[in-house]
Amino acid sequence: MFTGLVERVGTVVSVVEQDQTESGGNGWTITVGDAADILVDCHIGDSIAINGTCLTVTEFDQESFKVGVAPESLRRTNLGHLKVGSKVNLERAMDAQKRFGGHMVQGHVDATVDIVDIKPEGNSLWFTFKSKDKDIMRYIIPKGFITLDGTSLTVCDVDDDALTFSIMMIAHTQANVIMPLKQVGDQVNVEADMLAKYALKSLEGAIKDNHGLDALVNRALKK
């Protein structure tokens, strides 16, 4: 579990598609450097989110760490586009002893969205994104939580017909995450608010069990 408050921007130092070392397990691995600040309490098997994707540490030293990336993660996220020198958002798993400043983030990326517009307003930046997946738009509402490349943000506007939504990023956030380094057309990992997913799933189940919305409402009124 994470909060969406990025702790560090790291730098990719290695991408191996078939890592045959013991820590690579003959699979796709990514090694990230410039990460000393978040490795002081690291252990093999710990979870670290890279661009909002929960991954398992398989090897580390004082400055860098390696993670394995499953095929499903490569399909769902932008991790497959990373190369040596790419900047990435990093966050360790949530510490129960600290303030919970963002929102509940699982690190389970739903899909990627494309940046379609970037424009300044004062010292803030507007980012507008377009989804390829109509289904995910059901969970995105104005003033709701959303996680973009691992950053907890607030949705400002939503256009369900155009499959677009926008956020505004303050100057402090711009200085501490990778989003301002991106351009129109770049992909961003998105995780919708998990509470919205559970709420919609429960409502759909209740409607189905009660043979339609009208029947559900009538039953509730009778109670």
Q: pLDDT of 103-145, one tens digit each? A: 888 899 999 999 999 999 999 999 999 999 899 999 999 999 9
All structural domains of the chain, each given as residue ranges with its CATH number in brackets, are: 8-92 (2.40.30.20), 111-192 (2.40.30.20), 195-223 (no CATH)
Q: What are phi and psi of 32, to 5 degrees?
A: -120, 130
Does the active-site annotation cover 103? Answer: no
pLDDT level of residue 171 (50, 70, 90 thresholds): very high
Closest listed residue to residue 76, CA positions, set 118, 46, 106:
106
Does the active-site annotation cover 54? Answer: yes
Question: Active site residue: 29, 31, 53, 54, which one?
Answer: 54
Q: What predicted TM-score, i.e. pTM, was given to this entire model?
A: 0.89
Residue 4 CB neighbour total at 10 angstroms: 25
Question: Active site residue: 21, 36, 100, 154, which one?
Answer: 154
Does the active-site annotation cover 164? Answer: no
Does the active-site annotation cover 56? Answer: yes
Question: Active site residue: 11, 14, 23, 56, which one?
Answer: 56
Whole-number pLDDT of residue 195? 76
Does the active-site annotation cover 65? Answer: no
Does the active-site annotation cover 156? Answer: no
Instruction: Answer whether residue 223 shows pLDDT above 70.
Output: no
